[in-house]
Structure 1
Amino acid sequence: MSLSQFTGLRNTLTFSFKNVLQLNLPSLNAGIQIRERHTKHWKPEFKKLRRLKIQKVKLPNFQEENDMSKLTPDEIRSRMKEQGVLPPRPWTERPILITATGAVFEPYVPPEGDGKLSSLSFGGAKQSVELLSKKSKSMLAVRKIKSYEDNFSTKTFPETAQEIYIKAHKALAEKDYDALHQYVTELSFPIMTFDLRSCTVRWQFLKSLEAPRVVHVRCTDIINKENIFSQVTVRFHTQQTLAVYDRFGRLTYGSEVQAKDVLEYVVFEKHLANLYGQWRIHEKIIPDWMPQREPGRKTYVQPIPEVEPVPAEDTAVAATPAGTTSAVA
């Protein structure tokens, strides 16, 4: 090959290579020197589809150990990180135990004037007739209770309810909260103990003016048909003494000497589905027609009176000239 032929071949290759660079690198046409990727595709419109043409599939490794008990903690940790699994919680969820309901279902409505009207009067006879008309649901509920508790009877239960009533109030007066939990439900416990945290209570049961009796019985199920609760409303007409002292020993309510007649409708509840369930005080029904109780007397710290300072008087004696004396009135 001659020199002229070699020179022509070199010029042809240089020109063709320059054209290829100008097509793939537009910055050469603008005269700007920019470093660009040489792996960039010359037509980037469908680069997403081109990327999806090849997908990485992780094949299972049949040789690795699947029994987690045979792996070391480091191997378990690396495998969980690889699979994106969070570590287990260090605690377990606590089960929910429902031992009492949150309210009184179908509460008893006491007749107006109860405890004052005689059964021989017109009002007392009307109350007896209305009580008989409302006994149908109570009888069905009593049958439901007897299916779980064979010895239950509306004639003997008021005596049991009165014993629970007396023991609960004695435990409340003595602030024996461990014993109080056995006689009251979780609904009535904070209500009974909230206002007596810094007080001293003196309570005494004297006698029953009328025999306690069952006036209302209801049963209901919660969550499922087998989880049954029962509520029995008992009427108490008793004579009691109550005295409440504050933390300074001052009498704020009632008296230890003066007895009062108390008419109460107490709701007792039992978890029938629980084999070890007990009858406990659940709530007290206060009718609208019952007169308001006497409010308790509250004591306060007596503020110290502020004494305004008396301005001091000027007692200095004016100076007199020599040889003269001041006259005294």
Structure 2
Amino acid sequence: MYPHFFFIIFFGSFDFDVEFKVDEMSLTSKLTLLGRQNAYALSANIIHERGVHHHMERSDILRYLGIKRSNTAKANRNTHVNEKKFRQLRGRKNVMIELPDYEFERKGKDMYADDMRIAMLKKGINVNKDVAARQWNESQLTMQTFGMSIDNYIPPEDPLPLLPEVSQIISGTKAKASEVGERVKHRWHNYFNGLRIIKKKEGLQNFKTKNFVRDAERIYIDAFKALSERNKLRLLGLITEHCFEKMWPDVENRSLVWEFVEFSQPSQVVAIRAGDFPYKSGNYIAQITVKMHPVIKRAVYDRFGRVLLGHPEETKSNVEYVLFENHISNIDGVWRMHDKVYPSWTQTKDSIHRHDLLARLEDEEDIDRPAGPKKFELGIEDRLRREEKKQREKEAEQDKA
């Protein structure tokens, strides 16, 4: 910038006929013309003032922004101060641009998932950092066993008389006809939906129910012996997964003493069924229900050694309908104990005696029991708070009196 010149001009009484255009003539030309006309009447004092321009001056936008300097030959006189003071502000002007690594992207196309993850970890990138932990909700799925019984029908042990009483001849005849129809239907299913399908499978062409009964009795005895010994590996070879879920909790937190004595009556097959799972898949599974009369000694102890059920020296005769299963579509399939069938006329199971519970006494009057709940003293602060409250109530009553 050029320095400013301020002129203070005093005019006297003089006449001059000088015309000029302000925009077209310079200031020096104006004063020269004016002095020539009346040099004595003109007295001018010129005051020279030099202005210092800095970065806050708004008259020049380039200088205000710091793009242009007032004196290009002179550097910033406060450089040693400003460089330290405004270092962070100058650093914010720089934008760090992360250029893509095309070589890594090219190699990443041929990497396995584990190699890619290791390469990204070397670069400081953890792709699993913000990923939630995987929740495993697993459920067992097997195609070699049914999770239930195909048919729970058991023919009644005591058939109705062939000739009903005269007073109940109509209702008795209908009941007998219904029973005969159920028996015939049951025998039909035993052969066409059971035995015939089993004999079609490889290795079971000579299958006979009489020979199977002996194998069923052996499996029944060995399964309960393995259960009492807590032998899981042997037990899983004798029972199915469905049966394991029912039998293992009996010995998980308890002890079982089981001893086989004999079979009071010969066992017999009462039901044979076979079906494919899934439906129409050809994956056939056979189920056979055997009626058994075992005589056993059984006792169940808790973890403290107290008897919960039975007695180790007491024999008990049972009538059980045990269901056995085989994955007949598999050449290596074996017969395993699957479940038990409980007909409608069977008796309920023996309940477990809980000696640790309080027995009900016949005479309730002898029992010393509190009439109502008693408030428990929690602490000294509560007691002091109650005493202060009582004291205030007492003082309030005295004031009223």
**Fold conserved between structures, TM > 0.5:** yes
Map of 1:256 onto structure 2: 312
Aligned to 1:213: 268
1:178 aligned residue: 233
Rg bigger for which structure?
2
CA distance in 1, matches of 2:305, 2:163: 48
Match of 1:143 in 2: 196
Q: What corresponds to 1:285 in structure 2?
A: 341
Aligned residue number for residue 252 of structure 2: 197
Structure 1 residues 192 and 273: alpha-carbon distance in aligned structure 2, compared to 1, 3 A threshold: same
1:109: which partner in 2? 154
Does the aligned pair in 1 maintain the 2:154–2:270 contact within 8 Å?
no
- Over 3 Å counting, the alpha-carbon distance change for 1:279 and 1:170 in structure 2 is same
Distance 1:292 1:162 in 2: 23
Give the 3-state SS of the residue equivalent to 2:267 in structure 1: strand
Contact 2:286 2:326 in 1 (8 A): yes
Distance change (3 Å), C-alpha of 1:180 and 1:136: same
Q: Residue 99 of structure 1 aligns to which amino acid in structure 2?
A: Q
Which of 245, 248, 257 is matched with 2:301 structurally? Answer: 245
Code of the aligned partner of 1:204: E
Aligned 8 A contact 1:210 1:237 in 2: yes
Q: Secondary structure at the match of 2:246?
A: helix
Aligned length: 235
1:263 CA drift (Å): 0.4
Aligned 8 A contact 2:154 2:271 in 1 = no
Q: Which amino acid is 2:186 matched to?
A: K
Read off the aligned partner of 2:295 and give its amino acid letter. Answer: Q
What secondary structure is seen at the aligned counterpart in 2 of 1:190?
A: helix
Q: Structure 1 residues 265, 301: CA separation in 2 closer, same or farther (over 3 Å shift)?
A: closer
Alignment match, 2:186: 134
- Structure 1 residues 268 and 122: alpha-carbon distance in aligned structure 2, compared to 1, 3 A threshold: farther
What's the counterpart of residue 211 of structure 2? 156
Secondary structure of 2:251 counterpart: coil
1-structure distance, mates of 2:301, 2:256: 6
Matched residues in 2 for 1:204 and 1:291: separation?
A: 22
Cα drift, residue 152 of structure 1: 1.5
TM-score by length of 1: 0.58
Paired position in structure 2 for 1:100: 145
| 1:228 and 1:273 in contact (8 A); partners too | yes
Q: Provide, for residues 244-273 of structure 1, a one-character-per-residue CA deviation record: whole Å limited to 9, x for no partner.
A: 111222211112222111000011011111
**Contact 1:173–1:200 at 8 Å: present in 2 too?**
yes
Task: Give per-residue Cα distances to partners, 1:221-258, cap 9 Å, x unaligned.
Answer: 11243111111111101211111111222211112222
Contact 1:108 1:233 in 2 (8 A): no
1:107 maps to amino acid: N
The ranges of structure 1 where at least 4 consecutive aligned residues each deviate by more than 3 angstroms after the TM superposition are: 67-70, 94-97, 117-123, 125-133
> Tell me, which stretches of 5 or more residues in structure 2 are unaligned?
1-105, 121-137, 165-175, 359-367, 369-401
Q: 2:350 aligns with which of 280, 294, 299?
A: 294
Kindly provide the CA deviation profile for residues 183-230 of structure 1, in whole angstroms up to 9, marking residues without a partner as x.
110001011011321222111111112111111011111124311111
Matched AA of 1:135: R
Counterpart-to-counterpart distance in 1, 2:147 and 2:218:
24
Contact kept? 1:231, 1:269, Cα under 8 Å: yes
**Over the residues paired in the alignment, what is the CA RMSD in angstroms?**
4.4
Identity over aligned pairs, percent: 29
